[in-house]
Amino acid sequence: MKKRTGLHHRQSAMAVVVIFVAARCFADFVAVFYNPPRKLPKPDEIIAFANDSPSGRHKLLPPNMRIQKADLLLFLSQGFVITNFPPSQDYICTGVIFTQNGHGVWWELINDSVLDLTPCGKNFCSLSIEHPCKPKALEPSEKKPLMVPRADDVVGFENGVWRHNGISNPQRIYLEKSQVINFLKNGKVHSYPGKWWAARFEGSITLPEQIKRRLSIYGDHPGSLRKYLDYGANGAFATKDGKVFFWELWADNRLFLEDEDGATCLLALP
């Protein structure tokens, strides 16, 4: 009888621990991913706006759909935070804005009246407006070389945010602003030579230790393509004239730049 009682107590204790851990994980999950930001940017704080670049657009997005800056400002000025998310997470278009403090806020237009905002790649919220905006299709244009901005003109910087069904992935490759500035100052400019996407997977990226450990758990070599697909090394920066440039690290010494119109270049360090 004593043995059965002891076993029962151990099982009960284990059940309590499992419930506690599950509750704690759920609380952390909600706190990290579903708590809306404490402060949203005001319309007069926006210094730069852009729709996502053609290369940065998700394959499932409608082709070349865009909104205007005025549409986004309407969400910030008249939108109200909602918690009953729309059933569809298929975004119409995506992009980024920069505020006066130099931080970026990533946005995703879910439908013509609901917009997701993710300040600094962290918690997100959904804003809804009463009168829907009208995204417009942009005619495809010819590829053009990108005029590389001066490093001294950069006033805003942000790493990208990988999202899936409204959930941010904290396991990313982050760059410091100084690293991108170094490319702008010392990188050799290669204009768009045509189909150069093979260069995206040449060379290597030094992975953070936590990502190396995760890759080793799944049996993936740190040099595999998963580092690009799952973790990414990209973001955006804004310049004094209000223009936005999207960047993607292709290797430790190669940085790809593109604007929302599709003008591109590759910066290579010695």
Per-residue pLDDT reduced to its tens digit, 114-167: 998 887 655 678 899 998 888 888 776 677 889 999 999 999 999 987 554 444
Predicted pLDDT at 164: 43
Place of tokens 């490759």: 173
Share the mean pLDDT of the chain. Answer: 77
Higher pLDDT, 214 or 66: 66
Please report, for the chain, the start and end positions of each structural domain, with discontinuous segments joined by +.
Answer: 43-137, 151-268
30: three-class secondary structure by DSSP: helix
Predicted pLDDT at 25: 46
Per-residue pLDDT reduced to its tens digit, 193-210: 555 666 666 777 887 777
pLDDT at 233 over 60: yes
Predicted pLDDT at 158: 94
Per-residue pLDDT reduced to its tens digit, 70-123: 999 999 999 998 876 655 556 788 899 999 999 999 999 988 899 988 876 556
Return d(Cα 177, Cα 159) in angstroms, integer.
Answer: 9
**Helices and strands: H and E segment counts in the chain:** 5, 16
